[in-house]
């Protein structure tokens, strides 16, 4: 079925004044292609069903007092509905949430209704009319858990859109504690509360503010930092971490060919075609490269850690030969059924990298061939790329689609090309914040 062509409109605004054109007694946005008496600079788009609204900044000599003020537009009945809808969409929503901690653990609440129904979240919610973020989060959290909350400061503020919605939300996330643990849950809103380590909490929530707030809490909490134990090869120097855009790479099936019976010796290690070129491309575009790998054969005692190190030395030598340097290799040596922080889909290895090297999830990607790699990236709040040959991907299409990978490609080189085209740090672009 052919889709109707989308109508394209220009939303031109400067200092709260909006440029509209009169059309049969009504005021509307100019359409794309219509002649304008000034130049404009693009400022992103807002997509509605059937309509695309392009935001534009006008290039003018003076402030256009004769244009309509954005607030005055709602008082008039001769203004097109799309104009009102677009202006309403540009108003930012505000939520305020809190990481309540007890040692390295944080309190999460499970919602029975609303956007996060059935999911865990940080206590907090939308701010009321006229309310500041501190008062808002105290009120929301105390209503939800029925206990006194003490705020210890702001972790950070974050901006995010939500899938399928054109509006943006500003999130304030605080850190704090509870005075007592006798909770009285608000029955129509919260069904359960629990204390979790940050790596576990990250797998439980879908809320991007909660994820980023949890990671900032983790980085600021000496107890949480200390509690996370993750094995690494030891490439990183112990200097102060420096936040850099980072690509996390799964190993088997992304960098090297996986094999039945596992890669058990250095001679089993075979680079996939294009993998080193892809890594070189990412590195040259300004990303730090970090490998994060579950090593089931070490968990099964088939590959002792000493041998795993030798395999990794072989990989590093092959990468060096292609001009590729890794910042670190994190690995999970535990058994497949272990409940450790490091085993993907838990994001413990990525958290460890944030602690040891300096990583901002909003400027990072996780690249992997398995659904659990996508889950790991999702848990950490970074973008994800799913790589693997078509027949492989066909087998897991449904599970992967539910996780909405940002890039899907046949191999690492193709994924790298797309990532570089969309998001190269060298261009100085930053996703959010
Ligand atoms: Mg893999």
**Residues 76-134 pLDDT 10s:** 999 999 999 999 999 999 999 999 999 999 999 999 887 678 889 999 999 999 999 99
The mean pLDDT of 140-163, rounded to a whole number, is 93
Examine the pLDDT at 428 and tell me if it is beyond 70. Answer: no
For 218-228, the pLDDT digits (tens) are 999 999 999 99
Selected from 3.90.1580.10, 3.40.50.2300, 3.90.79.10, 3.10.150.10, the CATH number assigned to the domain covering 93-226 reads 3.90.79.10
Segment 408-424 shows an average pLDDT of 96
d(CA 296, CA 332): 8
pLDDT of 432 strictly over 50: no
CB burial of residue 390 (10 Å; 0-12, 13-18, 19+): exposed
Reported confidence tier of residue 3, pLDDT bands at 50, 70, 90:
low
3-state SS of 30-43 is: CECCCCCCCEEEEE
pLDDT one-digit tens code per residue, 289-338:
999 999 989 988 888 999 999 999 999 999 999 999 999 999 999 998 99
- DSSP lists the bridge partners of residue 383 as 365
Sign of the dihedral defined by the CA atoms of residues 39, 44, 48, 50, in that order:
positive
b/e per residue, 59-90, with b = 16+ CB within 10 A? ebeeebeebbebeebeeeeebbebbeebbebe
Which pLDDT band holds residue 1 (cuts at 50, 70, 90)?
very low
> Which residue out of 51, 188, 199, 252 is catalytically annotated?
252
End-to-end Cα spacing for the chain: 40
How many CB atoms lie under 10 A from the CB of residue 419?
24
Q: Confidence class of residue 161 from pLDDT cuts 50, 70 and 90?
A: confident
CA of 314 to the centre of ligand 1 (A): 18
Cα angle 362, 230, 284 (rounded to 5 degrees) comes to 45
- pLDDT tens-digit profile of 253-296? 999 999 888 999 999 999 999 999 999 999 999 999 999 999 98
Express as a percent the part of the chain with pLDDT over 90: 85
pTM of structure:
0.89
Task: Compute the mean pLDDT over every residue in the chain, rounded to the nearest whole number.
Answer: 93
406 is catalytic: no
Distances (CA, A) of 43 to 10, 104, 243, 380: 10, 42, 27, 29
What is the arithmetic mean of pLDDT over 164-175? 92
Domain boundaries, the chain: 7-89, 93-226, 229-427
Catalytic residue among 15, 71, 75, 250: 250
Distance (angstroms) between ligand 1 centre and the Cα of 204 equals 23
Angle (CA) 206-207-208 rounded to 5° is: 110
Q: Is 252 a catalytic residue?
A: yes
b/e sequence 249-269, b meaning 16+ C-beta within 10 Å: bbbbbbbbeeeeebbbeeebb
**429 pLDDT higher than 60:** no
Tell me the mean pLDDT in the region 249-254.
98
**Whole-number percent of the chain with pLDDT over 70:** 96
d(CA 336, CA 317): 29
Which pLDDT score is estimated for 4? 63
Report d(CA 111, CA 124) in Å as an integer.
11
Backbone angles phi, psi at 254, to 5 degrees: -120, -55
Please report which helix (H) or strand (E) contains residue 55, including its range.
strand 51-59
CA 232 / ligand 1 centre spacing (Å): 18
Of the candidates 357, 360, 359, the one whose C-alpha atom is nearest the C-alpha of residue 238 is 357
Taking only the tens place, the pLDDT of each residue in 191-212 is 999 999 999 999 999 999 999 9
Residue 343 Cα to ligand 1 midpoint, Å, equals 13
**How many angstroms separate the CA atoms of 213 and 366, rounded?**
19
pLDDT mean over 365-373: 98
CATH numeric code, 229-427: 3.40.50.1000
**Would you state the pLDDT for residue 433?**
34
The yes-or-no verdict on residue 348 having pLDDT over 90 is yes
pLDDT value at residue 430 = 43
CA of 279 to the centre of ligand 1 (A): 16
């Amino acid at each position: 079925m052919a889709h109707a062509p989308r109508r394209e409109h220009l939303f031109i605004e400067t200092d709260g004044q909006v440029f509209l054109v009169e059309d049969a007694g009504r005021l509307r946005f100019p359409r794309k292609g219509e002649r304008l008496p000034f130049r404009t600079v693009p400022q992103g788009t807002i997509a509605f069903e059937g309509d695309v609204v392009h935001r534009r900044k006008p290039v003018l000599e003076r402030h256009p007092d004769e244009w309509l003020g954005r607030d005055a537009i709602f008082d008039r009945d001769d203004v097109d509905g799309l104009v009102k809808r677009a202006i309403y969409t540009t108003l930012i929503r505000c939520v305020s949430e809190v990481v309540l901690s007890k040692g390295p653990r944080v309190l999460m609440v499970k919602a029975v209704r609303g956007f996060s129904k059935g999911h865990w979240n940080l206590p907090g919610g939308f701010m009321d009319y006229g309310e500041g973020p501190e008062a808002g989060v105290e009120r929301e959290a105390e209503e939800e858990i029925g206990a006194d909350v003490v705020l210890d400061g702001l972790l950070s503020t974050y901006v995010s859109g939500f899938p399928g919605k054109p509006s943006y939300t500003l999130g304030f996330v605080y850190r704090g504690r509870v005075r007592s643990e006798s909770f009285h849950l608000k029955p129509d809103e919260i069904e359960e509360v629990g204390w979790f380590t940050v790596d576990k909490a990250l797998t439980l929530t879908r809320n991007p503010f909660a994820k980023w707030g949890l990671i900032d809490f983790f980085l600021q909490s000496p107890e949480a930092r200390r509690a996370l134990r993750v094995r690494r090869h030891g490439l990183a120097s112990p200097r102060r971490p420096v936040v850099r855009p980072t690509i996390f790479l799964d190993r088997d099936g992304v960098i090297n060919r996986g094999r039945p019976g596992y890669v058990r010796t250095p001679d089993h290690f075979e680079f996939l075609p294009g993998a080193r070129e892809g890594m070189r491309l990412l590195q040259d575009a300004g990303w730090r490269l970090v490998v994060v790998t579950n090593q089931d054969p070490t968990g099964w005692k088939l590959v002792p850690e000493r041998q795993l190190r030798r395999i990794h030395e072989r990989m590093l030598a092959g990468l060096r030969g292609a001009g590729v340097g890794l910042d670190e290799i994190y690995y999970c040596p535990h058994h497949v059924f272990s409940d450790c922080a490091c085993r993907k889909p838990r994001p413990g290895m990525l958290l460890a990298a944030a602690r040891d090297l300096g990583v901002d999830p909003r400027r990072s990607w996780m690249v992997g061939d398995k659904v659990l790699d996508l889950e790991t990236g999702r848990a950490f709040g970074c973008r994800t790329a799913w790589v693997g040959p078509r027949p492989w991907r066909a087998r897991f299409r449904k599970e992967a689609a539910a996780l909405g990978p940002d890039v899907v490609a046949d191999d690492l080189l193709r994924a790298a090309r797309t990532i570089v085209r969309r998001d190269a740090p060298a261009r100085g672009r930053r996703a959010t914040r």
